[in-house]
A = this chain, B = another copy of it.
């Protein structure tokens, strides 16, 4: 029973906020049901249309959820460590409405649908957690939808990085640092434009020192200047 895998699972469950407050006996049962999955960068966790049989929790790494459109793909949301992915589809046993792809080497916890439902039914904290997840996703989607429409590409990209700075930024002497790798292609899909347009904006800001692209991170020297850039287009 103390295989390397089981041992690791035990540690993981103890570290995840979602599980660590669970009463020990219940957590023991979860250990018997869940499985760990290592994924390389770019792996497809599932494809739009697949049936949802497992709840996925991100232990480490990042996962993007992409919706295919005829004119190109759109990244709906980026999820990071500690968050769950695809909860809506799993709960209703509905085909996934979008595709999930890892953006880095990631460690994932997968919990069979039925066991998760049990958990929800017996632990009020779990169902509350799911509702919270749902509302967050919902408001994020509505905000994105509203931002998408009239606003210019510059403004949308600026908004993207400002929200990233808020969610995972770290203050340094040089400015706000966003420790994340994001290809121009992904930036484009996040704000709903083409690669070329994304590149144009990013390289211009690189020249002007507004937003610097480093090897493994982005740096915003002056957040207010970037915010100004976003607002210029707003007042249309």
| A134 CB-CB contact with B under 8 Å | yes
| A1 CB-CB contact with B under 8 Å | no
Residues of B within 8 A of A69 (CB): 146-147, 149-151
Residues of B within 8 A of A193 (CB): 149
In the assembly, what is the distance between CA of A230 and CA of B105, in Å?
39
Chain B residue nearest to A72 in the complex (CB): B150
Known A-B contacts A74-B145, A148-B145; the reply to A92 vs B131 at CB < 8 A is yes
Give 14 pairs: A residue, B residue, CB < 8 Å, sorted on A: A67-B142, A69-B146, A69-B147, A69-B151, A70-B151, A70-B236, A71-B150, A71-B151, A74-B146, A88-B135, A89-B135, A92-B132, A97-B142, A148-B149
The 0/1 profile, CB within 8 Å of B marked 1, for residues 110-151 of chain A is: 000000000000000000000110110111011111111111
Contact between A88 and B146 (Cβ–Cβ < 8 Å)?
Answer: no
Contact between B145 and A144 (Cβ–Cβ < 8 Å)?
Answer: yes
Contact between A74 and B149 (Cβ–Cβ < 8 Å)?
Answer: yes
Residues of B within 8 A of A92 (CB): 131-132, 135
